[in-house]
């Protein structure tokens, strides 16, 4: 089986301006109109660190190396908030959560720890771990606001590396034993309503836990799994995988035994799906972002795709 590079390796290659990827190595809803600036101004995605629709479904948010880009009604803009390097970006019905690093040239503490916005990214406040941790792999439940994150090293609230979850905005983090979880974790997803259910995409399989990460079982294998998201129906998972070719799949994990549904992708050359997002207002609308910074929209559940960014150049 051929392997796709890890997200960190892919980001490093893109930052180095590589022209080709190498052979594979291994409450109330958030305000809808908050914080949009400079609509129609040129926007370039230097990196892609997440992908999420806003709660009213009119805006697609893409954090990159210098803030958050927004696509709405066929036009691109950027949020006028601090141009931080947002990592682990995830959206719920009432908030954005993120981690990462402060904007270059500022005197802000690095890393920024866990931060939260409840006004559509216009302002952010720190929940904890500033100066201690930068979570590249993080996810939150759409209706529960339960947050799970992979800690790469210990900090003041996480005594050892591993998987942690919080249901109180980081006041208390609980370490998850993650028994049965195998391979490097590339992505996490949290069930939209049940904070105990979490999925993990890893180098060796797609895994699901129903006990807050204490135990995992494999739900798919024989590929490298690079992205994962819960369908907002709470019964299906979307995932991106690579086995020599890129794939996007929707699979039932509860309440049924239907076969996995393969979703036809647009042509991807030496690339794969890094993020997948579902529009909460129109659930048949999907967005995907790739490691090479291509972004596509589908209005019909993946039967057809419109490209809105190519190699980071927005359209």
Query: In the β-sheet with 138-140, what is the strand arrangement from edge to edge?
Result: 138-140, 147-151, 162-166, 174-176
Does residue 44 sit within a domain? yes
Neighbours of 46 (CB within 10 A): 16
- Give the model's confidence band at 29: pLDDT under 50 very low, under 70 low, under 90 confident, else very high: low
- Tell me how many domains the chain contains: 1
Does residue 238 sit within a domain? yes
Question: What's residue 5's pLDDT?
Answer: 57
Q: Return the minimum-mean-pLDDT range out of 2-16, 43-57, 137-151, 254-268.
A: 2-16
- What sign for the dihedral angle of Cα 292, 300, 282, 308? positive
Residue 170 clears pLDDT 60, i.e. is over it = yes
Can you give the CATH number for the domain in which 306 is found? 2.120.10.30
- What sign for the dihedral angle of Cα 47, 48, 53, 58? positive
Question: What's residue 4's pLDDT?
Answer: 59
DSSP structure string for 245-282 = SEEEEEEE-SS--PPPEEEPPPP-SS--EEEEEE-SSS
Does residue 187 sit within a domain? yes
Q: Return the minimum-mean-pLDDT range out of 75-89, 261-275, 285-299.
A: 75-89
Does residue 149 sit within a domain? yes
H helix or E strand, kind and range, residue 260: none
| Residue closest to 98 by CA, chosen among 146, 27, 50 | 50
- Give the model's confidence band at 37: pLDDT under 50 very low, under 70 low, under 90 confident, else very high: very low
Does residue 2 sit within a domain? no
Domain that holds residue 172: 7-314
* Bridge partners, residue 162, by sequence: 151
Q: Could you tell me how far CA 21 lies from the centroid of its own chain?
A: 21
Residue 17 clears pLDDT 50, i.e. is over it = no
Does residue 184 sit within a domain? yes
Does residue 1 sit within a domain? no
Does residue 43 sit within a domain? yes
Distance CA(181)–CA(204), nearest Å, equals: 9
């Amino acid at each position: 089986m051929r392997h796709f590079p890890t997200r960190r390796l892919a980001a490093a290659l893109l930052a180095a301006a590589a022209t080709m990827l190498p052979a594979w190595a291994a409450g109330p809803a958030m305000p809808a109109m908050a914080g949009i600036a400079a609509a129609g101004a040129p926007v370039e995605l230097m990196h892609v660190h997440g992908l999420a629709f806003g709660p009213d479904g009119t805006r697609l948010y893409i954090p990159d190396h210098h803030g958050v880009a927004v696509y709405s009604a066929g036009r691109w803009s950027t949020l006028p908030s601090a141009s931080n390097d947002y990592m682990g970006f995830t959206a719920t019905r009432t908030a954005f959560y993120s981690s990462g690093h402060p904007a270059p040239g500022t005197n802000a503490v690095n890393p920024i720890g866990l931060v939260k916005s409840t006004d559509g990214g216009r302002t952010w406040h720190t929940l904890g771990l500033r100066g201690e941790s930068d979570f590249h792999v993080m996810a939150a439940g759409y209706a529960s606001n339960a947050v799970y994150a992979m800690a790469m090293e210990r900090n003041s609230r996480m005594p050892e590396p591993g998987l942690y979850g919080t249901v109180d905005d980081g006041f208390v983090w609980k370490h998850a034993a993650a028994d049965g979880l195998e391979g490097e974790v590339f992505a996490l997803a949290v069930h939209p309503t049940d904070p105990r259910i979490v999925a993990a995409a890893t180098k060796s399989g797609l895994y699901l836990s129903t006990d807050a990460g204490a135990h995992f079982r494999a739900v798919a294998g024989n590929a490298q799994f690079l992205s994962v998201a819960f369908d907002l129906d709470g019964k299906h998972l979307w995932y991106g995988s690579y086995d020599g070719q890129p794939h996007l799949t929707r699979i039932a994990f509860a309440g049924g035994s239907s076969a996995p549904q393969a979703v036809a992708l647009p042509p991807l050359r030496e690339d794969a799906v890094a993020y997948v997002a579902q529009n909460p207002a129109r659930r048949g609308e999907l967005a995907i972002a790739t490691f090479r910074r291509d972004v596509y929209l589908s209005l019909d559940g993946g039967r057809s795709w419109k490209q809105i960014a190519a190699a980071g150049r927005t359209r």
